[in-house]
Amino acid sequence: MRVSRLIVFLLFVEWIAVWCPGIAEADEAAPDLETTTETGKETQPEVSEKTQPETSDETQREEIVPETTEHPEPVTGDITQTTETDSQRATANEASPSADHENGVRVSSFVSSIYNFRGMNVFKETSQSDQNAVYSPAVTWTVLHPGLWFKYASFFQINGDNRAYLVDSGVGAEQDLATGFDYTFFNKLTLSASFTYYCYPFSRSRITGVHWPSYLEPAVGIGYRTHSGIRFGLNISYFAPVQGRLRDNRYMYSHFEFGKAYQFHPKVAVDFDLGMGYKLFADPSILQDTIFDFEFGLSVPYTIVKEMKLVPAVHTAWTYLVSTSFGDQYMIYFSVDLVIDF
């Protein structure tokens, strides 16, 4: 009996020794789990509400703020450059064809109610205001932009009773060949040099006194364009006849130009131009007319397509004529120019 009781007691002690530590460890671990769980519940919101959002906001700020601060500057610059470019492409510079034309061929068809050459109505009959129109086709080949260019142009009288006589006398049916080179600095300052050959192959020698009256004209020029698009230009040339019998027509010509174009629409602009010229004749006692000349032009270039432009314009010009009154020294005329680039 005692032995059985001893055995039961030993088994009870062994059970306590085996199971009670597990229960104690479980009891000790339970508060840790609760504490961990509570801490996790308190820490997890801190991580989700503070740490993560702050990281997300900072990331967004690092991505968005630079775009907001840097983006407007290139856009503004591009718009200004386009406007300047569009403004610079709406004003055609006759002295330097490559100034507004990239490499390639340009064909123009020009019609004007008066052929005004440095203040003189070339096809007039009795008055500077005679509306004897001219048609002038021209082809310009630009090799470098801006740089080397070649040009051919001709001038034909459309109407007037004196048309045949002017052709015979070496004034009508003019044929021109020109070449030149332009160089631009900083997209503002342009230096140019050109050489033009004028000839009248359809004239009659019994009237002109020479066969094929011809003239040569070397020229140099400088142009400047401000940031706002205002143009200034000065061109100096020497007009010299090839034949000695025409030497009285020799003169040095200085021409100053001022103008500006306004781009009101991607396809439409308004351009005004003011020019002033002065001739210094080799023999001032022989020729006194047309020493001074002034011209004002207002044109509205319209871009039909990228390669085609229509330029209607109105002009007024004045020149000094010794033997006429002031009322016969000015002219008002209209012109239309169709320009196609290839």
- Six-digit token pair at 254? 């200085």
Greatest extent of the chain over all pairs of C-alpha atoms, in Å: 169
**pLDDT-derived band at 108, boundaries 50, 70, 90:** very high
The pLDDT score that the predictor gives to residue 144 is 74
CA nearest neighbour of 235 among 53, 92, 93: 93
- Six-digit token pair at 13? 């002690």
- Six-digit token pair at 267? 């396809």
The phi and psi torsions of 140 (rounded to 5 degrees) equal: -125, 130
Beta carbons of 278 and 292 less than 8 angstroms apart? yes
Domain ranges of the chain: 1-70, 88-341
- Six-digit token pair at 107? 């064909």
pLDDT above 90 for 3: no
**pLDDT-derived band at 328, boundaries 50, 70, 90:** confident
Tell me how far apart the alpha carbons of residues 236 and 215 are, in angstroms, rounded to a whole number.
Answer: 16
The phi and psi torsions of 5 (rounded to 5 degrees) equal: -65, -40
- Six-digit token pair at 203? 């004239």
Residue 128 or residue 5, greater confidence? 128
pLDDT above 80 for 19: no
- Token pair 């775009």: residue: 67
Which homologous superfamily is 88-341 in?
monomeric porin ompg (2.40.160.40)
| 0.75 surpassed by pTM | no
For 272-289, write each residue's pLDDT tens digit: 999 999 999 887 776 667
